[in-house]
Amino acid sequence: MNGWLLGVLARALEPSDRHAVLGDIAESGEGIFAALRDLLGLILRRQAALWAHWQPWLALLGIGVVAGVSLSRIAGGFTGGVFQQWRTYEKYGVHYATGVTPRQDFAFLACLAAGLIVWSWTSGFVLQSLSGRAAWVTWLVFCLATLDLHLFLFPALCGAFLATRRRVLPLRYAYILINLSIVFQIPGTWVMRGWHATAQQTWLLLGLSVLDLHLFLLPALCGAFFGARRRVLPVRYAYSLGAAVMVLAILATWMSGWYATAEEAWSRGAWHGGSRATLQFLLVSWPAFYLLINADRQRMKEVKTL
C-alpha cells in the first residue's frame, strides 16, 4: 500500500528521476511519512521550477484563459443556435427568425462547426506543447474557463492523458473515456427537463452536448496528443493549418456581419455590433499563428545547420 502510494505520487516525476528517487527512498529505509514528505517536496520543487519559464505562463493565460473562454463562448453560441432552430422547427414548423435567411444561418453554423474543430485542435496542441509537465495545471484552468459544460470532463481528460502517456490504445481510450463522461451529464439534463416542454428536447440538449464535445474538446485532446510528442509542427502542416484557421476566422467574422446588419436594421440603427465577434475569432486563432512562427523558426534553424 505504502509502496503503491509512493509509486502513484512518483508518476509526477520524469521516468528516469522517478526510478532513481524511489530507489534512494528504498535504500535509505526511511518511514512512509518521511518518504512521502521527501517525495512531495521534490515534486513541488520540480513543479515550481517549471513555472520559472515563460512557456507554461503563455499556455495558462493565452490558451487556458483567453482562448479557452472564447472557444467556450463560440461553442455555446453554436449549440444554442442549433437548439433554437431545431426547437422552433419542431414546435412551429418554421425557421427561427434571426434576421437572416435559413441558408445563411446554416452556412454560419457550418462555418462555426468547422472552425471549432480547427481552433480547438490548435489550442490543444499549443497548450500541451507549451505546458510540458505543468499540463495538469493549464488543462485544469482550460476546463475551468469552459465551466459551463466541461468541468465534469476533467477527470476523464486526466485519464485520457494517462492513457496517452502510457501509449495504451491512446486515442481510442481517450475517445471512449470522454464519451463515457457524458453519462455524468444525464442527471443534470434530466433536472433541466422541468424547464423544457418535452423529453425529446431534453435528449436534444444532451445530443447537442455530445456534438459540442466532438467539435470542441475532442479536437483539443487530439491536438494535445500530438503536442505532447512534438513541440513544433512540420512547416507544410503549420502553413496548411494557419491558412485554414485564417480562412475560417475571416469567414466567421464576415458571416457574423450578416447578423450585425440584420440587428442594426431591426433596431433602426440603435444597435451596433460585430467588433466583439471579430475579437473572439482573433483570440481563438492566435495559437495557429504561434505554431506558424515556431515552424518557420525551426525551418530557418535547419537551413542554417545545413
C-alpha cell at 55: 512557456
- Residue 38 contacts another protein per CB under 8 A: yes
Q: For residues 64 and 87, what is the distance between their CA atoms, to the nearest angstrom?
A: 33
Name the nearest CA neighbour of 150 among 90, 101, 195, 209: 209
Estimate the crossing angle of helix 154-166 against helix 135-145, to 10 degrees: 150
4, 8, 27, 306: residue in contact with another protein (rule CB under 8 A): 27
Q: For residues 135 and 139, what is the distance between their CA atoms, to the nearest angstrom?
A: 6
Q: For residues 265 and 206, what is the distance between their CA atoms, to the nearest angstrom?
A: 35
20, 186, 191, 197: residue in contact with another protein (rule CB under 8 A): 20
Complex with another protein: residue 3 or 102, whichever CB lies closer:
3
- Residue 42 contacts another protein per CB under 8 A: yes
- Residue 49 contacts another protein per CB under 8 A: yes
- Residue 113 contacts another protein per CB under 8 A: no
- Residue 155 contacts another protein per CB under 8 A: no
Which stretch, 35-43, 56-64, 69-77, 282-290, contacts another protein (CB under 8 A)?
Answer: 35-43
Q: Residue 158, exposed/middle/buried by CB under 10 A (0-12, 13-18, 19+)?
A: middle
- Residue 52 contacts another protein per CB under 8 A: no
Q: What is the C-alpha R_g of the chain?
A: 23
Which stretch, 14-22, 185-193, 254-262, 270-278, contacts another protein (CB under 8 A)?
Answer: 14-22
Which stretch, 42-50, 57-65, 163-171, 219-227, contacts another protein (CB under 8 A)?
Answer: 42-50
